[in-house]
Amino acid sequence: MELLEAVCNQAIIAMQNARLYQTLQEEKERIVEVEEDARKKFARDLHDGPTQQVAAIAMRANFIRRLFERDPGQAAEELYKVEELARRTTKEIRHMLFTLRPLVLESQGLEAALKSLADKMQDGHDQNVLVEAEEDAEEMLDKHVQGVLFYIAEEAITNARKHAEASIIWVRLRLRGEIFALEIEDNGVGFNVGAVDASYDQRGSLGMVNMRERAELVNGIHRIQSSEGRGTKITVIVPLTEDAEERLHVL
């Protein structure tokens, strides 16, 4: 009887280990997919932004070189345009490097990094972003979680800037007991959430999917509220304890 019980216990442990291994493998694959999507997004942004701008600078420089022989005055005006384009390109590259992994996130935390991002959005794109944080709201978040939340916020802000036609974007950090909430809200044109979710394979854009998967990496929940003409609100809820995690995923 004892032998049978021992065999059963070993079988149960083996099954649990197998399930744990499968879960870890799935989690690893999901992390790899998220990282690959991030690399693809960076490559697209690099191609659509600085790469084309540098090519434009080269073309203008060639044009100016030939123009000097015919009209030095106009060539000087073109030089000013090239200088301005070079400055914009430099600013955009610096912004891209910032979003890869801002040093302020490591040294000062999530709130400071978001405020720095807001400044760059105002400076580079004339986009008004307001960051509102409750006192000590991020204190219970480790650096990994803060990094994930920063990238979710950056994705949401960028999407709002490009597509929402919003005059203002709010970013809020809230603490509710054992639950942390990140909110990104805009007053833009909004959209039909159900229709967009249903047509991702045709759209080729995985912005919302990336945000949802990043939230899942920190055991969080990602929610979107939007309707046409009424803006968009994205909420990421992250449990700070195991009990909070159980309650959150039962809801």
Interval 185-238: pLDDT, tens: 999 999 888 776 665 544 445 677 788 888 888 889 999 999 888 899 999 999
Co-location of 194 and 138 in the same domain: yes
The band of 69, judged by pLDDT with boundaries at 50, 70 and 90, is confident
Are residues 84 and 191 located together in one domain of the fold?
A: no
The model's pTM is 0.65
Range in 20-24, 60-64, 190-194 with the lowest mean pLDDT = 20-24
Does 186 lie in the same domain as 90?
no
169, 118: one domain: yes
Indicate which CATH number applies to the domain containing 43: 1.20.5.1930
Last residue in a domain, options 100, 132, 163: 100
Q: Are 42 and 97 in contact (CB under 8 A)?
A: no
The per-residue pLDDT for range 84-116, each reduced to its tens digit, is: 777 777 767 666 665 666 778 888 899 999 999
Instruction: From residue 135, give the alpha-carbon distance in Å to each of 24, 174, 176, 229.
Output: 35, 9, 12, 33
Q: Are residues 217 and 120 in the same domain?
A: yes
- 112 & 236 share domain: yes
User: What letters, b where the CB count within 10 A reaches 16 and e where it falls short, cover 37-65?
Assistant: beeebeeebeeebbeebeeebeebeeebe
Q: What is the pLDDT of residues 168-178, one digit of tens each?
A: 999 999 998 88
Q: What confidence score (pLDDT) does residue 86 get?
A: 77
pLDDT of residue 222: 92
Pair 162, 40 in one domain: no
> Do 140 and 23 lie in a common domain?
no
Structure tokens at 61: 């420089």
CB within 8 Å of 165: residues ≥ 6 apart: 188, 189
CA nearest neighbour of 27 among 228, 219, 196: 219
| 24 vs 20: CA distance, rounded Å | 6
Q: How many CA atoms lie within 13 A of 159 on its CB side?
A: 25
Q: Do 245 and 174 belong to one domain?
A: yes
The per-residue pLDDT for range 105-157, each reduced to its tens digit, is 888 899 999 999 999 899 888 999 999 999 888 888 988 889 889 989 999 99
CA distance 100 to 77: 35
- The last residue of one of the domains, among 100, 116, 138, is 100
Same domain, 23 and 79: yes
Query: Is 121 in the same domain as 47?
Result: no
- Residue 38: domain span: 1-100
Structure tokens at 53: 């701008």
* Shared domain check, 116 and 213: yes
In this model, does residue 183 exceed pLDDT 90? yes
| Sheet of strand 232-239: strand arrangement | 128-133, 168-176, 179-186, 232-239, 221-226
| Inter-CA distances, 68 with 77, 84, 194, Å | 11, 19, 57
* Last residue of one domain, picked from the residues 100, 119, 151: 100
Quote the number of domains for the chain: 2
pLDDT score, position 204: 42
The CATH number of the domain holding residue 142 is: 3.30.565.10
User: Does the structure show a pLDDT above 70 at 241?
Assistant: yes
